[in-house]
Structure 1
Amino acid sequence: MMELMAGADLPGACAMPRVVVFDFDGVLHRGDAFVLFVRERYRRAPWRLAGLLLCLPWLVPLLLVARPRAIRALIHIGLWGMRPARYLAAVDAFAMRRARQPGSFIREGLRTLRRHQCAGARVIVATGCETTLAKRLLEELGLPDVEVIGSELRAGWFGMRAHYHNYGPRKAQALARAGLAGWHVAYTDAAEDLPLLRSAAECAVLVNPAPKTRRRLERALGTRLRVVHWA
């Protein structure tokens, strides 16, 4: 791993700390954290399941033709009636439980993140997970100082609603809005994060990839791509 921490700084940024970007789900956390959180909301309130069943006749066709809209609808139903304070309390409780469940996190990913921190790097988690949820999970793991750029919810008339999904190319765009023209190393498990990997000046790291994902990114990045298998 030390070879990932060596090398020249980004052009014009020699006085700045090195920047290392991590995806969250599939790199640090095992599985989709926000999906698990919303599923828990359904399990803890059976009436939400009743609402979901009522919506299935139009949700199923919507999943086939407009998947993002259908997913937003599933989130809205799962978070129906939750005001911001209640949402934060639910996130806190979920994060505490999840952090104590064996196998919930990818140990080598967390060790690698900490090594970059110890080497003085600025570590940023760019994720499709909702920002507050990702932050709380990292705090429970003893990583309160990791920057998180994630998806956003907003309060609506009937509860918390999906507002911005920080997915695929949007991650690199969000980092650019935060003032970063590039970064030194990027870690992800997703082919959709190709723009994130392309902007890594030193090394693009693909974590535990599916064979199709590996082939696609090897074609796009060639020898710049490193593949790691983490437990």
Structure 2
Amino acid sequence: MAVAAPRVVLFDFDGVLIHGDSFYLFVRERYRRAPWRYVLALLAAPLLLLLRPFSRRWPLRVLAGIGLLGLGERRYQTAATAFAAVLARRPRQFCRGGLQALRRHQLAGDRVIVVTGCEQTLACGILQQLGLDGLEVLASQLRPGWFGMRLRRHNVGRRKVQSLAEHGIDAWQVAYGDSMYDAAMLKQAAEAVLVNGTPALCKKMEKALGRTIGRVEWF
């Protein structure tokens, strides 16, 4: 008798399991620890203002790059792992409802995959600090550059679906997301769930998916 394969359940990370943007919090800590980074950001301000009308992404990449200056691969992994331990101890930083839902899926025997735009080392470090071992994590990746770590792959939007395909996943039963960046991932789920979505976002998401979706409030 054939054994049924476990359900595949996808969780976004930022805004679903954790409040805020975890990589932004890491970069902000880098600035706080080295105020000279603020000086470089101010010097780069004219360039950022020129880029802003064309793309919001590039100014953010420049600011993140300043935060990563001087970090090689090994130093970055050490810093990210240490920050993950600090972040995991912050009260009210995480979505209790999201973590409880994830653990329920694990107990039910589902195959749980965290699909996130957060960087891989940081995301895995945070989840491990929370006691969530054994999870599959598909995340953004950095690469070493001349002056520090640089973005190699930003796992957002349709890239999440591509990452899943490269991971051998072409179908999933449940997906939890919190923004339009998760629309492509939610669209292919049999059960799509929007986390802490406003009525306006819910309406926009349902229009993009062409169907109604579930809604949860996780705090």
> Gaps (5+ residues) in structure 2?
none
Per the TM alignment, residue 192 of structure 1 is displaced from its structure 2 partner at its CA by 2.1
Cα distance in 2 for residues equivalent to 1:130 and 1:207: 21
Q: Which residue of 2 aligns with 1:44?
A: 33
Per the TM alignment, residue 14 of structure 1 is displaced from its structure 2 partner at its CA by 6.6
Per the TM alignment, residue 195 of structure 1 is displaced from its structure 2 partner at its CA by 1.3
Q: Which residue of 1 aligns with 2:107?
A: 118
Number of residue pairs aligned between Structure 1 and Structure 2: 218
Q: Which residue of 2 aligns with 1:10?
A: none
Per the TM alignment, residue 213 of structure 1 is displaced from its structure 2 partner at its CA by 1.3
RMSD: 1.5
Matched, 1:210 2:166: no
> Deviations 1:68-96 (Å, cap 9, x if unpaired)?
22222111111001011111111121111
Matched, 1:66 2:55: yes
Cα distance in 1 for residues equivalent to 2:212 and 2:107: 24
Cα distance in 2 for residues equivalent to 1:52 and 1:181: 41
SS of residue paired to 2:90: coil
SS of residue paired to 2:44: helix
TM-score by length of 2: 0.95
Contact 1:130 1:151 in 2 (8 A): yes
2:215 to 198, 202, 227: 227
SS of residue paired to 1:21: strand
Moved more, 203-212 or 213-222: 213-222
Cα distance in 2 for residues equivalent to 1:222 and 1:76: 38
Moved more, 64-73 or 29-38: 64-73
- % identity of equivalent residues: 54
Matched, 1:108 2:97: yes
Matched, 1:173 2:162: yes
**1:127 counterpart letter in structure 2:** T
> Gaps (5+ residues) in structure 1?
1-12
Per the TM alignment, residue 218 of structure 1 is displaced from its structure 2 partner at its CA by 2.2
